Chain A
Amino acid sequence: MRALIGPKENQASQVYYRTLWWTDVQRPSLKMYGRRATDLIRGLDRAAENSIPPYNGETVRAVCEEIKDIFEANQQDTGRLQSQADTSSHQNILHSIHFRHIAMERNKRCLVAYHYNRAERLRSIRWNLGGIIPREIRSTLSEKEVEWFNSYNTELTNYMMELDGLNLTVHQRPPKEHFIHVRVLLDYGDYETEDGETIHLKKYTRHVLPRTECEHLIRQGVLEHVHV
């Protein structure tokens, strides 16, 4: 049990203990539950707002392992509880079970919060950048998250089809004019507009386009809205 819970600590958590923990100076550090789970949350919390850091599958698995260990330890103790006649040691075992149970709840909370917050950020990608995940972001997602994104995408598209094909993701700010001047920032290639015309978007060229057409491209960083 001790070998399972007191794992080889990774370097990041050791640095954290040295710098952030004032009491560390006086007392030896604890082999406490829930450390991995907090590492998980800290990684997401420290990342820039709304950016998605790489999915930390290894730590997620480690936290799940810890939960499993705690559960097994509690099962064992429950077994011991029934064989124990002495009331005081009976109580002591109960205390330990409570202790571990709290740790298990905490681990669960961290896991849920981690995945929920990542999904929230992913959702904002759909609204900002459209239905295709940029390659840089896709590489940071887990398989399940890509799956979730795709199903969210189809749900949203279906809903918008029900509204007679109204695109809810454009015009997030009230438009001032119908056509806008844009400059192309990278070689994008051919782009087909809604009325069937094809325009060639070449780097450093300027175009006057309908606002609804290019709002997504501007958000994706392909075009830049310029002042005339």
Chain B
Amino acid sequence: MKEFYLATTHETYLSLSDIMVTDEKVACTVTVDFAGLGYIHPSSSSEAGDLTVGTTLDLPLWMATLMYRRQYATIQIPPAYQEEARKILNVDPAVVDLRKECAGRFRWRFSENYYALGLYIIPFSLNDAKEIRRSLTSTFQHRFRKIMDWSNSTHRDTLTNLYNRLDRSEVQLLQMGKAEQTALSDWLDRRTKFLKASHLVKSAQSTRAQPQRTDSRKRARF
């Protein structure tokens, strides 16, 4: 039996995707002094090498969360969850490219872990929590329709440029949808009784084939 873990899995100690989500950077402002930690932030001016009050720096989420809990730092909501971005998503969520950089007052981007990161961000946003939550839900609802469409209509295809626009959990949803669609058509054609080679063998064979190809390319160049 195959198990699926969506990339939105929250707070699972051993989950790879959760570790990747918690590595996203958020801007924090330090509210206490840290003795001898000045090297964390290269431009901090303190002579003693301390990290001083009021320094703004980007901390990974795993650090920022705990700093916030201990009231050592305040967290700024990333631009991807602020009002400007919410407006963009409000217009037509389905066409937004969640991985592309957006131009604006300064450069920012939505995240490839948009939903998962949003869930982490909500507790820090005192004023906007409701808005962010609503925006996340409605974005997902609108985009899910599209994903459902794609997974039904384009099975057995590789849609690389489609994948590049989606959030990680959305990519997983699309892949699941496509796998189910393929399984259904296999069943209808009575192909399910056939035993297949393990995907491990396939991937091992493909990695074995690759070096030869690069070798020949190199030879051609010289």
Show the binding face of A for B, using Cβ within 8 Å: 1-2, 5-6, 21-23, 25-32, 34, 38, 41-42, 44-45, 48-51, 77, 88-89, 91-93, 95-96, 98-99, 102-103, 106, 109-110, 112-113, 116-117, 124-125, 128-129, 134, 136-137, 173, 176-177, 180, 211, 215, 218-221, 224-225, 227
Contact = CB atoms under 8 A, between A and B. Distances in A.
Contacts of A42: 20
A51 B200 contact: yes
Contacts of A218: 195-197
B96 to A, nearest CB: 16
A45 B16 contact: yes
Contact of A109 (B19, B63, B197): B19
Interface in B50-108: 50, 56-60, 62-63, 66-67, 70, 72, 79, 101, 106-108
Interface residues of B, number: 55
Contacts, number: 158
B14 interface: yes
B92 to A, nearest CB: 23
Most chain A CB within a 10 A radius of its CB, from B59, B193, B200: B200
B203 to A, nearest CB: 4
Contacts of B34: 92, 95-96, 99
Given A32-B60, A45-B16, A95 B202 contact: no
B23 interface: yes
27 contacts: A21-B25, A21-B58, A22-B101, A22-B108, A22-B109, A23-B27, A25-B107, A30-B42, A30-B57, A34-B23, A38-B19, A41-B19, A42-B20, A45-B17, A77-B36, A92-B33, A95-B34, A102-B62, A113-B19, A129-B198, A176-B193, A211-B195, A215-B195, A219-B197, A219-B198, A221-B198, A227-B194
Contact of A113 (B15, B40, B204, B205): B15
B172 to A, nearest CB: 10
Nearest to A34: B60
A65 B101 CA distance: 36
Closest 7 CB pairs of A and B: A221-B201, A92-B35, A136-B204, A221-B197, A51-B203, A128-B198, A92-B33
B39 interface: yes
B65 to A, nearest CB: 9
